[in-house]
Structure 1
Amino acid sequence: MNRVARSSEYKNNGFFLDAPGGTEKSFVLNAILDTVRSQGKIALAVASSGIAATVLHGGRTAHNMFKIPLLVNNEIRACSIKKNTEMARLIRMTSIIVWDEVVMANKNTITSLDITLRDITEKEIFMGGIVFVCAGDFRQILPVIRGGGKNDELEYCIKSSYFWDDLTKLELTENVRLDSKDVENKRFAKNLLLYL
């Protein structure tokens, strides 16, 4: 919230929230979105899949919201948003972008958004200086690469992107879905955290 209030004071406003299933990631993301909007600011909510987008307040798929082009041969292209459109004006007024299930996205789709936002805001910093909160769980599905294997999935994963090291990493670790008496599932949930 400090970054939203004073984003221009920071060089990098990117965050990654690592959140395994059951840690209430959706609750946290919606709390952030609702808080920013209650202050009269614009908060855009997107997800990599339609199902995940329905859980976010005002959520849409990232491809739909930002007109991200389909990647042929995994090339990087700018999004189809012209600088003099209503969408471009909305982006210039945006305080925060929340992207859920980002680990499913090809890193080049995020790069396409970064290039586009830099162009629209005319600021040569990550995401044009807009606070960018992405979230996901690497224990779930990585990007699907047509005709590719495990190495391709890793190569096009967000962890292989040029901006990964600059993201501030946050994590949720307590599984709130588990009953305190459910020892076996609690052990399983704890073990999931060990394998990343």
Structure 2
Amino acid sequence: MSEDFLRCSDLTPRKVRKKVLQQISGFLELMGKSIASFGLVPNDLSSFDVENQTRELLAERSITIREEDLNAISLLNEKQRHAFEIISHRIYENKNGTFFLDGPEGTRKSFLYRALLADIRSKGYLALATATSGIATSILPGALNDLLQDLMNSSEIFGGNVVVFGGDFRQTLPVVRRGNQSETINACIINSLLSPSLEKVQLTENMRARLDPSFTDYLLRVGNGTEKIQDDSYIKIPSSILLENSEADYALDNLINLVYPNTMTGSSDANTPINQVILSTKNNSVDEVYDIVISKFPGEAVEYLSSDKTLNPNHQGQYEDFLNSLSPSGLPPHSLILKVNAPIILLRNLDPTEGLCNRTRLICRNLS
């Protein structure tokens, strides 16, 4: 349910029922159904009220179609265009289809998604775009699939709707808390009960690094597990992508200076930092890099502290240090240091209808 329903505790039972029916009606309409066909609508609830008070439906219909996304259709490469055509044909021919778009990082899956969404919405159709986590993916067979089959009164997969999944099997496996290797592998979508029903569509051309084919070939070999290994567990990193003459004590500083050469002196282009990034496999390393970069970044630092007060003041002295030491995945640290024009990245969906989704890169323009 939406936030509108969650805040309706002060409503009468009659109004609560009306609110619930409005939510259900909006979801059914997104699926091409009418709530009236289920005999659930009371006489005093008009279709006009339902349609005009459903937040989700209004949000979908009010999405602005960007011209650049429509123009992207003509810029698709051969594999992207093949995927675009078979998916869109299923939609416009009113046929079912469940696809998995498999492509390594850099094959511009998101570019294809935006082109698909723009084309579908420009023709008056409704298209829902969302992101799934490993946990969400694992419940698709028993939650979303069954729900859509019930709503559409169809035994076809996802109720006969066209559904497109996308990702890269070569990247990090889903996280299963305290799970062993077999449990982690079993949580992958390729081991889902739905996997045999998915039509696989592959993207192979790395558009981000197409001017460096040797690097893209190396990435694919690593991802596919075909790169030669040493000592049974290590792969050799090409010397062309290593820092030269870098002593251990200065390696991190040299890396930061290489990735952000003009940041510390004040670049003429404030957007430059968001187009460059340092990746790490551990949160502790991320924090270490961030502390060094933000300390060198020009401007006055502003510190933001997390809420660390206990409900019972008597427990404050006992738990304060512990609360300050916590750094949950996906959340900022207790002490967050920011500066004007410093780059940040959005880790959790904030407002997808406004384009603020996971991995959106932003720049701090004002701190207050």
TM over 0.5: yes
Partner SS state of residue 163, structure 2: strand
Gap change, CA 1:183 and 1:120, over 3 Å in 2: closer
Amino acid at match of 2:109: K
In the alignment, the residues of structure 2 paired with residue 46 and residue 145 of structure 1 have an alpha-carbon distance, to the nearest angstrom, of: 21
Larger RCO, structure (CA 8 Å, separation 6 or more): 1
In the alignment, the residues of structure 1 paired with residue 204 and residue 135 of structure 2 have an alpha-carbon distance, to the nearest angstrom, of: 23
Q: For residues 119-158 of structure 1, what are the structure 2 equivalents within 5 Å?
A: 119-158=150-189
- Higher strand proportion: 1
Query: After the TM superposition, which of the residue ranges 19-28 and 145-154 deviates more from structure 2?
Result: 145-154
In the alignment, the residues of structure 2 paired with residue 106 and residue 143 of structure 1 have an alpha-carbon distance, to the nearest angstrom, of: 10
Pairing partner for 1:16 from 86, 92, 100: 100
Is residue 89 of structure 2 the alignment partner of residue 2 of structure 1? yes
In the alignment, the residues of structure 1 paired with residue 213 and residue 98 of structure 2 have an alpha-carbon distance, to the nearest angstrom, of: 36
Unpaired stretches in structure 1, ≥5 consecutive residues: 50-103
Quote the residue 2:299 is aligned against. none
The structure whose Rg is larger is 2
| TM score, norm. by length of structure 1 | 0.64
Amino acid at match of 2:207: V
**Moved beyond 2 Å, runs of 4+:** 104-109, 192-196
Shift of residue 15 of structure 1? 0.3
Q: For residues 1-196 of structure 1, what are the structure 2 equivalents within 5 Å?
A: 1-8=88-95, 10=96, 13-48=97-132, 104-105=134-135, 107-111=137-141, 112-180=143-211, 182=212, 184-192=214-222, 194-195=224-225
Amino acid at match of 2:193: Y
8 Å contact from structure 2 (residues 170, 224) kept in 1: no
| TM score, norm. by length of structure 2 | 0.35
Partner SS state of residue 7, structure 1: coil
Partner SS state of residue 133, structure 1: strand
8 Å contact from structure 2 (residues 149, 158) kept in 1: yes
Residues 51-99 of structure 1 show CA distances to partners (whole Å, capped at 9, x for unaligned) of xxxxxxxxxxxxxxxxxxxxxxxxxxxxxxxxxxxxxxxxxxxxxxxxx
In the alignment, the residues of structure 1 paired with residue 225 and residue 123 of structure 2 have an alpha-carbon distance, to the nearest angstrom, of: 39
The two structures, once aligned, show a CA RMSD in angstroms of 2.0
Quote the residue 2:314 is aligned against. none
In the alignment, the residues of structure 2 paired with residue 27 and residue 109 of structure 1 have an alpha-carbon distance, to the nearest angstrom, of: 27
8 Å contact from structure 2 (residues 90, 162) kept in 1: yes
Amino acid at match of 1:20: P
Query: After the TM superposition, which of the residue ranges 20-29 and 120-129 deviates more from structure 2?
Result: 120-129
